[in-house]
Each structure stands twice: as C-alpha cells, then as structure tokens.
Structure 1
C-alpha cells in the first residue's frame, strides 16, 4: 500500500461491548468461537414471573424469544457524579453507552489522557422506549425527563461526563447507525477535526425479556429462529446490545505506541434513493455501489478480502438482495477468490442501531486472531441466492485464517431500513520491529504502577484482576504496563501506587491485600541535617540537580540539592500542601514557598549549619553569636513574605498556613535553638523526606508514587523510559446499582415528605409558612427527592451529589411552590449546601413577611409613620 493511501487508514485502538451472553470483548470472542446462540425460547412460567400478561402469552403470533442483555436496569451513577433520581430517569441506553465508552477508552489506554483533549464522539441509539415507563413528571424520577427523553443527548452526555472536547454528534440511520457513526468518525479524523474518535451505538429493546409478536408478511421470525441466508429463513429476532470502538489516524497511533487491533482502510455510505420496490425494501444497486465505493476508498486488492460480515437478518427478501449485491460487486471487479460470508445476528439477535457494531467488532477480532467464526443457524443456501462462480460461500463452521502474502482483510455491511447502506473494509495490522515490543524490550530499572478506584470494593476487584492478568500475559513489558496504568486510567479518589522492576514483581505485590490510600494533603519533609549523596541514576535523570553537585561546601550543596529536588517535583506536577522542616531545612522550605529570597535563605541555611557544627564540636560560642547576628542582618535586609505553601516548624512546633507570612524572629528562634543545642529533626513517621528520595531512582519513584496517592497530578512521562506502549489491561469494575422507574427513589426521612406531594394550594406567599417551620429540614427533603438520595447532611455539596443547573432549576421551582419565594438559580448554586440554601430561603421568607406586614393594615388610614 502506498504511503499516501496509508495516511487515509485509521487504526482501531480500543473496543468495548455488552452483547447478549457477553459482558466484554473477551467473552464475546469466546462465544463466537464456540458457535453459541443466546436466542433460546423463554419458559412460560418464567415469562409470567417476569410480568408478561396472559393475554400477551396467548396472543396469535407471540414468540417468547429475544436476544436479552442482562443488567440494563443497573448503573454506577456515583462514578459519573449523576444523582440517583436522574439516573433512574435516564434512558438505560445512555447509561450502558456511558460505561462502555469509559471501557473502550481504557482498552485503548487513553481514559486518563482523553479528558480535555480533542476526542470526538459519534454515536446513536434506538428509540427511547424506557420513557414510556417513567412515572408522571411530578415525581422524583419524572422531574429529570426533560434531560433524558431526547436520544440526541447521548453523545453530549459522553462528552460532558468524560470531558471530551472534539465533535459530539448524534447519528441515526436505523439499522446502519453504528457503521454510519464509524464512517463519520473516520472522516472527522482524516479532516483533522479530532485526534481520537469514539464511534458506536446502543439499542435496548424494552421490555426485552418478553419476546415479540410476529405478523404475517412482517420481518420478525414467526418461530423464533434466525437462519441467515438459509432456504428456511423466515425472519429476524430482536436483540439488545452496545458496542464502542476507539479510532485514531494510523500514523498517529504508530507514532504514539498505541495498541492497534486492526486497521480501517476504507468506509463508504450511501442511500438507495427510489431504486427499490418500496420505502422499506432493499436495493441491489445501492448495496453494490456502497461496497464498490468502500473498496475504492480502501485502495486494497479486492481479491484479498477473505471474509465479509454481512448484515444477514435472516429475512426471505433481504438476504438474497444482499448476496446479489456482493456478487455483482465482485463481478464488476473481476474477483473470484474464496471469501467467507457470516453474520452474528443468529447468535445474539438483530441489535437494530447497534447491529453494525457487533459485526465490526467481530470482523476486527477475526482479522486480529486469524479465525473465521461459524455462522449459527445456516444449513442450506437460500435458492433465491446464486453465488455460483463468485467465490462467496457461507461460513458454516469455524476455520483458521492463516497469514498469507498479504494481511488478512475483511469487510462489514450494515443496511438500514429506509435505504442508508454502510460498508467498512478492515485489515489485519502487522507490526514492524519497532512496534513489536514485548517483555524483551524492558528497560532496566523500576517503574511506578498506579491503581485507583472510587470505592474500596472496586479497588480490590481491580487489583485482583490485574494480578491475574499479569500472571497470564507474559508478553507485556513492565514499561508497557506502567504506561497503560499511568495514562490509560482516569485517577479516582482511592489510590495506591507500587514501584516494581518487572511485571512479576508487581504481580506479587498486587496479591497482597493492600488497602488504597484516600487522597489528601501532600506533606513532605525537608531536613538538611543529614548527609545528602544523590545516586547517579537520579542525577542523570533530574537535570536540575546538576548545578548543585559542584558545590564543595556540604551545607550549601545540601540546600541547593533540596531546592532542586523540590523544583523537580514541581515540574512533575507535584505541589506540596505542607512542608515539614527543622533547622536549616526551614530556610530551604521558606525559599521554595516564596517566603524568603532564595539567596538570602541559602546564606542563612549555611550559617545555621555552621552554628550546629560549632555546638556539636564544642567550638567557640562567640562564633555562634556572630553567625546569629549575620542571620538577623540578612532577614532585616530581606524580610519574609507570605508563603505559598503551609510550613510546619519542627523546632517551634507550629504550622504556618499558606498565605501567611513568617516573621524574622521565627527564623532567629530556630537558629537560636540550634545554638543552644536544641536543634531537632523534621522527620515524621509516614512522611517521605525529599532529600532521602535522592538516594536511588527507586526511592525517587517511591516519592512520586506517594504524592500521586495523595492526589497530585503527576506527569508520568517524565519518569518512565521511552519504550512503554499502551496495552489492554483489565477494565474498571463498575458497581451496579439498580436505577429503574418501577422502583421509587429513596424516601426522605425523617423530614417532611413534601416533594412528591401534589402542589399545595393557598396564596403562594410567604405568610402561608408557619413561623416555626424548619426551613433547613424542608430544603433537605426537597434535595433528597429531586436528587434521589437519602440522609443528606446540612453541609453536603450540591455538585458532589450529582447536581447541576437543570437540577437546581427544579429545586427553585419546589422552593417557590413550598415557600412562595423566588431564589435565583445563580444564588442557589453559589450557596451549594442545604444550610446555605436554607439561609437564602429564610431571608426571603422574612423579607416577604415584613413586606406583607407593612403593606397590609386593618383600616383605611394609610398615613401612618414609622422611623427610618
């Protein structure tokens, strides 16, 4: 392939899915290899237990079969910061897609680096059938419907919750939606509109566990069997699922160490127009032309296409038309080489908007793994289809797909009712020597391996899964694993980081039941009283240390090394919250915090060390007095300024908060303590010493790991070698919580159950509120109902609990309904807590009551006076 053509190729660098019988990519591939089908009929007693009425069970044409997706009622709302009431109102399609978008970015190794970047989102969904099940808009869940009913909210939600800054486009072309999204995402990447693109779709049939009703002449199978391209084919079977791929320009993926699963060489999109029998009928001409257009765009030899994942719905009309289009396209190109045809629909059902995504992921896995899966349910070719001499045949059994003179190549079709046809050409990625990587590419030396989760339970599940994966995957290097964990995961609240020299060492450490560390203040120790001897492995990698090494005087050298170490941490993104120091270290800490001029602090630190040495050696005490006088003159010349970092003085036992200025007398007292032999160390159990960390590269990494565990946003790239690639690792274990309209949100208690009541009657003014009304309790009750949470604390954060401006507007409406006062949304958001909001409401209620009293009298005399 030419370099120019290669620049139009797009790499698939990540994938995620939830399909019937499969919660992830690995399970999906196992099912495909096993030839498993998840379209089994449902038992009548089971159907009754699921709520299917008898009149439906006995209805003519009722078929108790569907491609059911488990867990559609579950969602980890807290991970996304979404309030439970809003989660209960959200279309479950949106919830599923949100979680799989995170998994796809993690699989690509970009979940950490995607936030704030030009990442595009191109996706679609099925009809929002869930909206019909929601309660009336007056209730807690229903109040969020304005944000949830619109399908077009899907990509916007993804972009918002994952902080993605590229194009955010809702796509809808019915059954071809997901491949249409892939085509648009590829075009956006090639046009330079984004650097990474998420493409996919979701479809959930509701009620998905009830089966369906087949009608005479319709496309639904009357017997629940889906037999693609078969002579006995009578129709399709619905299913539910979600699939997402992460795409990047091939040259960018190659240059940045991305893991490439396959390459999209070409995509094409068209519509049948009026060249068909009816609006819903397929067209041979339209489908043939989209295949030819995609092959022309791909620029590959069409004879090298060895597998086509067809639309293959199992309908008597659609399947022969699709096969005829494929045959005619090959005839136009003069191609007769063998080419297998398959479709996954007979295993999982027709996933509507997500159908093409199931096919694309299958094709990517087939070219990557070198296996063509069997097509379930096909026995004998439909007599209406003629494949004679075309080289096309239906893959009825699993077969190996060995490497050949050219990379393995496949094609995928998705055909929408209404005529929109999409076709994608997928190729095997063959890495060159520079992309091979592997354990043999490991550079000597340790790496930092960070792991985080929102809850302790999720952290331990992730830790155990990672340990298990490392025990099975011996081909990955430590540098690969480090980069995948550092850049490929979004840091969460509970953290732990290990320093290890190999995946085996990391795996051993992971098996220990170590609890994560909650994020908190970064507290560091600076102590100049100990000898400082940086290791060559550290000085070679931290260029700021170089200038300090040439100073012969030990005290001056220690000060400069300590300051350079703190600056090196700052360059990594570490901003300490507290510096613990004693003796000469206090001058160093003050200089780094901007409280003392650097040169003044250096000279004072050196004089302080001379004092300490004189006292230790029982030297001339008059010399100590001279050094103290010199320190005092230095501080008089350059008085201390406010510190940008909190400073903890071990000598004086006080902490000076950030923003406060130390006095000159403070430093004099510290040095006077040294002159009296009372100098102390700054060390505290559990806190790392910055200068101790210079003793080895492993110690320096351990310091960086400590800072990250406590919330620092560490620039990992500056700490690792150049060989690290992004490799797939175990995905975040979302914690499923049921959010469903049928289950009412938690009731507020013990507060008054106001929010779900019918609107109150009355004048609607503040005078209707009793003087003894507990405003705070009622504000909390409104919060609990609108957000769908219980036991809200008076100081709880509105945004932390999943609130946003639209939720605030609902609270404003309820406050006005209850108290008869208007509170601007902006003021409400500024207040942020129930206590703050209650104070606002109470003020307005009091003002309204005063106005009522002043403007209402018992007689006609309106000339009364009052003091101003």
Structure 2
C-alpha cells in the first residue's frame, strides 16, 4: 500500500477509506491491520481518520475475484461519498490496536470521514500464494453541467444502438430502454449515445434508433412497424463484406451542401478547405467555401463550378467514412463521379483530382456549346425511336432497363420532351447546362487529353467498375488519358455498373448481412437506381448520414463509434443493463440429491485413522486440483498451493462428513498436512468407552499394522543415520585431541 501511495500522489491522510482483504481470521486480520497501520505511519501520525471496510462479510470470499469485488466497492464508495457499515460487525478483534491506528471501524452508514474537495480510497488485496495488489483511487472530476451542455448541444447525433444475442433479448432490451427514457429527467442525447455505443457490446441482433425522439423510434420497433426513418435493424450472421462506394454525377449539387457535415466533422471541413485552396489557385476565385459550405452565391451552378465542388464534397465524405473505419470493397462512379471514385481507389491524389476537375469543368463550360439533358423513363427501343425522330438527340446515360438519359442541343431535348409528354410518358429535365457524353463535347476532347497527360495517374489499390462497359478493373490497373477522354464522350452505362456490382458478390441479393451500397454525393439519385436494379441490396445515401450509419452497423460493418463520437462531450451514465435470457442447458439425467460420504468403519473399533486419512487425501486432491496420487500425506497444504478459500471449502466438507468442528486456525497452525488433519479428526470422533460393559478386545487392522511397520522402519533408519553421524563426530573429535600440539593449529 505504501508503494502504491507514492505514484498516486497526495498526502496519506487524504485517504478516507481502505477496502481491506479482511477474511475475518483470528490471526490474519491483525497481521493485515498492522501492515496497513505501518504503511500509513510512514507518512502521518494521525489517528481515526480512515474508515476500514471489507466486502467479504456481505458476499463471501470470491477467490480470484475477491480483489475485483473490493475494487468495485471502493469505486462505489468514492462515487457516493458514503461509507457503509461493516456487515455483522459487533466488536473488534482484541488483537487490533484500533484506538492508536489511523482507522475507524464503521458500525453504521457515515459520511466521508476526510473533509476536502477530492475523495481518495485504497484497495488492499492479498493472497496466500504471495500475490499482493494495492491501488489508490481518486474521485472522478466533477462535471460542470452548464459548460458541458454547451459542448454537447451541437454535436450529439440522434442515434441509439442496441443489440442482443437473440431477438427476444433485443426486444426486452428495447423495452427496458423505453421505460427508462420516458421517466424524467431523461439522459442527455450525447450521454445516451455514448453509453449505448461505447459502453455496451454489439451483438448479432441489432437495432439503431434514428428518429429525433428515441422513444418514438423504440415504440415503432416494439410495435412491429417496418424499418424506416425511425429505426433500422438487422442480424449479423456472418463476416460482413465491406460496402461498395458509389459516387453520384453532376446535377445534385447546391449551395450549402457541405454545411452540416463540415460543422459536425473536422475531417470534412479540412478536406473542403484544402480543395478550396486548390480551386482558388486554378480559378482565382476565393468564394468556394462561401458557396459550398455557407450557401452563398447563385442557386444554380454552372459546370465549371459544379464539377470541382462535387468532387470536393465526395472526397470529404469518403475521408469521413474512412476515419470511421469504413473502407470500400469496390468503387464506381456515375459520369463525372468516376473522378472521385478513382481518387478513393488510389489512382488520383486529392490535389491532382481537384486540379483536373477545375480544368475539365472550365473546358466544358468555355469550349462546348450549351446543351440540355432529359431523363426518360422508357425502354431502350423507345429511346431509339426518339433519336430517329429528333435530329441531334443522343443517348447519354443508361441507368436501367427503363431509365435512360438523352442529351443534345436544347431545342432537340425540348422536342424529345414534347414527344414524351404527348405520349403520357414519364420524364424529368436535369439541372445541367451542358450535354455531357454527346458530340457537343468534341471540341473539348483534345485539351482534356492534354490536361490528363499532365496529371500523375497511379495504379489502383481498390477494385473499380468502369462506367464505360461495367468491367471491373482490379488493383494494379492504371487509367490513362485515353480512358478519361472516352469516359467524357461515350455513353455512360451505369446499369452495367450495377449489374457488375451485383455479380461480384459485393451485394448479395437478400439478407441483412449483405454489403451496403453507399452513395457519396449531395443527393440520393444513385440509391433509387440501385434499389430498382438490385431490389434486394441495401442502398443508402451518405446525405442521410444517420440512416447510413445505422444501416452499416445493422449489416455488420464495423463502425468506429469512438471516432464518430469524438468531441460530442457525452459521458457514460447509468442505463439499463443487458437482459440476460436465463435458460437451463442440462442435457443429462435429472439431478438427484447427493448423500454425504460415510467413511468405512471396522466392525470393532468404529473408524480407523487410515480411513479418515484416505478421505482427507481425496478431499485435498479434489479441492486443490490434484490427482489423488499426487497428494502426499505429509505434504503441507501451503506447499500444495492452497489458498484460504480452498481450505475453507475442504474444512467445511470434512466437518459435515465426520460430524466434528475444525477451525481454520488449527489447519494452518497444528494440522497443516493431511496426516495431521486425519489424526485431529480421529481423536475427536473416537468412540467413548462403554463403562457399564466389559470392553471387547480391539485388534489392529492390516492397514494399521502396515502403517506402523512403515513408521517403525523409518524411525529405525533415522536412528541409524543419527548414530552414524554421531560416530563420525566422535571419531573426528578423538583424532583432533590425539594430534600433536603443532598439528592442531
């Protein structure tokens, strides 16, 4: 204890409570008490300032967990600042010098004995084998609620992850949390999330409440409503695959699209700031963050700004997921989204990608004529009819069997729209000012090739699905200028991309353990496409960040909750603990009551000492973990590695079987071997003489005769050895006395 006090710091008399080993033995307690007193006396002469306690009188001796139980109790005493009384304590051991010691023995619940701002307590745990542990604990720093409230208000995500080993356990857990949350005062949202996410294991059956009101989400789950905006759930049955990252194309960008993630996550703000510096170097405009984060500027973006802005947001989102431990198994992009996909796959650095997108967007804005694009929800045959009917109309993108994008000069696109409207067919104009993947981009291609050739393109580190043909490019493949020129001009086949994703096994068609298709970008355009082409896939947009985290977690992806909650200001608070589902797993025949062992008795003298010894040896082997042949009758219990708990268990069983009382003190001091214990029992259970009847003659048993013979033989050997040693000593002394005076020197 003295050694622990030094590194802990603080004066010795600031320790107001010591949780002692406290086994309650007549000799053990005074030894421990004296040692603790000596440790304190090295630093202070004060008396009666430190309460002494032991948890063993309340819950018994927990063997190797006894010290941990004492540690838990000391932590609780520190936390509440109340010293509990010693259980069943009436009077101290007379060998304890309590009055002159630093300690008091509490007989009732008392307030903390040492006044001051910080409470400190010690834990003292010892073992018979020589393993001793000592620790000094200090009260946790007080939390200033007002200051804490300012820190957690803007950073707490409304998420509540719960899990169970079975569906029944998960339902019981959700019900217990609901009952706690409806009581006032409820925990702070940050405390609720930190406790549930970091203070609990994440088991197979998972639930994540995503609604702003966690009680509403729990009610929806408990009522059996389908997963949706309020909650998500899933069962992790196997090792999950990593998600597929899908990067959306131009069209969904808007002012302020990076505001929320940049405010919440520093990594997003850092990436956007880095991209803003590159954008200013390339364009001379310093308004990048004003438009992307703060929402200033025109509501509709032109291509020269939209393309680098989209790239910056997508890379920031990818870096955020990577910081949370989520990395892709496969990447793909829709049209210009391929640039962010290639960057995440390792083929482009962030800075090179940003510079290339600034130049690409400027070329398309300045060198190509104005155009338009129209999403037509019709089959390919109908698209061919429209192309035949409208001059200059081209197929730009294939998103699905009945989802195509046509593009061309604004008048051609308007003519196609009119034809679709006349036929009552669905369509949707896209918010772009250029006709990508059409002949209108031909004037751009040579300068685009030159810009790409000046960029250092690297081999892939992550598989990449090409939007030109839906073919998977594996790690090691390096995109060239020719590929990126063709990617800008030819039809983008995102339907082929989705088919390739489905066929690679990265998106198993059913089951919550399948990988998630995670869309990166400002909208959820690709999420809808993926759900239509791969209806069993788990597709979710990063723009719905809470739902994305929930889906990943429920699918089994390892989300780093500690990284997600960094800086939220939450702390762990008391919340419902796991609802264990108690079940019996007995597979044998029904248990039957056991009977006490009855040692053999002779017909004449009742119980022999050898019979008692045989039983003592058997019990010693059983309680100490030996085979019977490994336990010698004359080996000490301490030498066999016995601890106090093992000896107590053995003694209690001996008392029950032989109908006698044995004190632990006797085992430790007088009967410390199986033979001596058997002899002690035999003397106490020997039959009383029958004074009124003539005693019958008692004959020795064969075992007793053999044991006596062994003892006599051993005694004879010892005596012979002693005589030999004595004879040698006499001869030596005789030789010395007979030697001349000079030789004695």
TM-score range, shorter chain: 0.3 to 0.5
Q: TM-score, normalised by structure 1?
A: 0.42
Which protein has the larger Cα radius of gyration, Structure 1 or Structure 2?
2
